[in-house]
Structure 1
Amino acid sequence: MLFEVFKEIGIIEQLSRAQLEARLPDGLIAPHFAVLNHLINRGDGAVPIDMARAFQVPKTSMTHTLKGLAAKGYVAFRDNPKDGRSKTVWLTQKGRDLRERTIRDLAPVFGDLMGEIDHEALIGILPTLVRLREVMDAARD
């Protein structure tokens, strides 16, 4: 049964990624948007190596993603006051605006979904999904 749950979650992730990426500017993909969300949720000043750990990707992959976002003006690097050898990552206003615009652009899609899904049932599964994520997140450390 657990495999079936993860299969459905995977399919939902693929479908939702396609919806998201259709609303992002050319050259940006879901992992770029995930970084913007991470910086909103975590706060500015993240260190790339910590971000790589959080996303469970190699540091080189995170560096590549961050450089792409910086080249487009969505994030900026600053010297790390705690360690002169590393940088910290800061969301620019352009990055904040992109995130908010993308969420706003997804609203009609979410509205359509909510017209097809039992709202109470969705609320009912959220605690289980949160707990599943928490258990899996704790197990990776």
Structure 2
Amino acid sequence: MAENKDPGDPLSIALFSEMFMADQLARARLAKALPKGMELSHFSVLNHLARANAERTPAQLARAFHVTRGAMTNTVSKLEWAGYVHVRPDWDDARRKFVSISATGRKAREAAIAAIYPIISEAVEAVGPERVRNALPVIREIRRRFDEEATQDEGTSSRS
């Protein structure tokens, strides 16, 4: 009978176990704090559009969030229905649309930030701002590696 050994690197497994659990717990906690009717995906798109301060196509948003175009179209439709974004046709290519954040969307984003800020600032304060500052470059590098791999995978799958 073969011995059932875990082939994984304990450090890697511990790191990603903690990251996944922290992500799950943070998402659950922040989702409860968001203004009524706002989902994390809605806040994420509004935050992205506000920070970019530019229009994006649904395809660009889907790539940025590593979701399908259908999922992003659904999110954008809900945001448009709520009055948080404006969707306009591309005057040069009728098949394409552009999405921008509305004034109401900016207010909704600000309300969401006000609702989640105490939770995230309390977590940073509890851990210690210096420790968080020291951890950021490591977490950022891990994110960049996965982002690069996802971008490469998208390029490969679109040519298949």
Normalising by structure 1, what TM-score? 0.90
Number of positions where the alignment pairs a residue of Structure 1 with one of Structure 2: 141
Match of 2:157 in 1: none
Name 1:98's counterpart in structure 2.
Answer: 108
CA RMSD of aligned residues (A): 1.6
Cα deviation for residue 88 of structure 1 reads 0.3
Matching of residue 134 in structure 1 with residue 134 in structure 2:
no
Which residue of 2 is the match for residue 65 of structure 1? Answer: 75
Partner secondary structure for residue 84 of structure 1: coil
- In structure 1, how many angstroms separate the alpha carbons of the residues matched to 2:119 and 2:37? 22
Counterpart-to-counterpart distance in 2, 1:92 and 1:58: 24
State the TM-score, normalized to the length of structure 2.
Answer: 0.80
Q: Which residue of 9, 22, 26 corresponds with 2:36?
A: 26
Find the counterpart in structure 1 of residue 122 from structure 2: 112
The residue that corresponds to 2:88 in the other structure is 78
Greater strand share, structure number: 1
1:51 matched to 2:61? The reply is: yes
Q: 2:22 matched to which residue of 1?
A: 12
| Structure 2 unpaired stretches of 5+ | 1-10, 152-160
Runs of 4+ in 1 over 4 A off after TM superposition: none
- Verify the 8 A CA contact 2:85 2:101 in the aligned structure 1: yes
Distance 1:56 1:36 in 2: 16
Percent sequence identity is 33
